């Protein structure tokens, strides 16, 4: 908080900035963000490790802090990097009122809202409050062993149950809402959100699901089975995976490719929709179709658009 002499106190807006500072391009983008926020009178938070990438003069423009508790009171977290960096930030904002704005400095960057060349404009729009908030569903996962929950975690994109031994398959039985669906061996299984449908699930052959759709995806990974099709199930459903004996090899659970833990033989992994969501800042008015075309470079030549108006419809 700050106050003028004799005047009422005014709240200082706060933005937390996270960046993958390993490349010169990222440091240049970070410098643009810091200067833009400072010029607007916004209090800018950064970790000391990342602030160290700035010049001495620009480093004086930020308030250095540790990540623990940094999101409290922050209106927005601005993230400069690829989807991995944005997923790191999602760990901080999940379940809070803080909004996440991603600027893509990676490759595809589906979670990002802006590209490198748009960074100053994007931050300026955040300062002006010219953005909308889009809430994305997340997943909760539990590992149950001998009737006891031994691990709990969560994911924005996906939870995958995979083989623990690279040289062998994992044997599993999958159920939905407590009813058995299929038993198979393979590399594993992915349970994904619509947000994650363009990530690992997409690579494994799953469908692309529009983010406005509330659903849960189930995608087998290299399954040795006659029926190994991706499934789109209700968001209220629970996906269960039981790890069966396969030469005594168990499995591992990955959450967003960032957090991992064991799923030994006999364990049951349960994945369901979480009550906590992630809030993303959206600047564009375009639809997801446009994002999909742009990110994947899809050919759209020959498209002439809706003809209803021309046909008098």
Average pLDDT, the chain: 90
Mean pLDDT of 140-147: 96
User: Of 58-67, 84-93, 227-236, 279-288, which range is least confident?
Assistant: 279-288
pTM for this predicted structure: 0.88
Residue 20: pLDDT band (50, 70, 90) is confident
Residue 310 is given by DSSP the state T
**In the numeric block, which tokens belong to residue 148?**
């006891």
| 24-39 and 119-127 helices, crossing angle to 10° | 30
**In the numeric block, which tokens belong to residue 259?**
């957090």
Residue 249: pLDDT band (50, 70, 90) is confident
User: Quick one: CA dihedral 88, 93, 94, 98, positive or negative?
Assistant: negative
Residue 311: pLDDT band (50, 70, 90) is low
Mean pLDDT of 151-165: 95
- Has 83 been annotated as catalytic? yes
Residue 206 is given by DSSP the state P
Q: Judge whether 287 and 301 are in contact, CB under 8 Å.
A: no
Segment 177-198, tens digit of pLDDT: 999 999 999 999 999 999 999 9
**Choosing from 68, 83, 130, 311, which is the catalytic residue?**
83
Dist CA 286 CA 307 (whole Å): 20
Residue 111: pLDDT band (50, 70, 90) is confident
Kindly list the distances between the CA atom of residue 250 and the CA atoms of 76, 133, 151, 166, 290, in Å, as whole numbers in the listed order: 41, 41, 15, 11, 42
Residue 10: pLDDT band (50, 70, 90) is low
If you write DSSP's letter for every residue of 149-181 in order, what string do you get? Answer: EEEEEEESSEEEEEESSTTSPEEEEEEETTEEE
Q: Is 254 left (phi over 0), alpha (psi -120 to 50) or beta?
A: beta
pLDDT computed for residue 191 by the predictor:
98
């Amino acid at each position: 908080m700050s106050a003028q002499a004799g005047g009422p106190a005014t709240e200082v807006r706060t933005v937390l900035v996270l960046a993958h500072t390993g490349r010169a391009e990222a440091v240049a983008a970070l410098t643009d963000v810091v200067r833009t926020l400072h010029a607007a009178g916004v209090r800018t938070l950064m970790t000391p490790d990342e602030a160290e990438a700035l010049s001495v003069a620009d480093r004086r423009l930020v308030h250095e802090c540790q990540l623990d508790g940094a999101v409290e009171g922050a209106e927005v977290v601005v993230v400069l990097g690829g989807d991995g960096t944005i997923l790191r930030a999602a760990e901080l904002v999940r379940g809070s009122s803080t909004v996440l704005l991603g600027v893509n400095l990676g490759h595809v960057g589906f979670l990002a809202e802006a590209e490198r060349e748009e960074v100053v404009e994007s931050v300026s729009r955040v300062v002006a409050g010219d953005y909308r908030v889009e809430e994305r569903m997340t997943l909760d996962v539990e590992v149950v062993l001998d009737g006891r929950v031994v691990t709990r975690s969560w994911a924005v994109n996906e939870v995958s149950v995979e083989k623990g031994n690279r040289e062998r398959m994992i044997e599993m039985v999958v159920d939905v809402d407590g009813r058995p669906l299929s038993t198979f061996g393979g590399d594993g299984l992915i349970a994904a959100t619509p947000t994650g449908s363009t990530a690992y699930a997409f690579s494994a052959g799953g469908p692309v699901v529009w983010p406005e759709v509330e659903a849960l995806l189930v995608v087998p990974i290299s399954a040795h089975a006659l029926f190994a099709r991706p499934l789109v199930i209700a968001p209220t459903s629970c996906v269960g995976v039981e790890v069966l004996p396969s030469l005594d090899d168990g499995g591992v659970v990955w959450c967003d490719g960032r957090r991992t833990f064991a799923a030994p033989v006999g364990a049951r992994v349960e994945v369901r929709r979480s009550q906590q969501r992630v809030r993303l800042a959206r600047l564009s008015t375009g639809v997801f179709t446009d994002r999909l075309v742009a990110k994947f470079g899809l050919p759209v030549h020959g498209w002439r658009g809706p003809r209803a108006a021309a046909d008098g419809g």
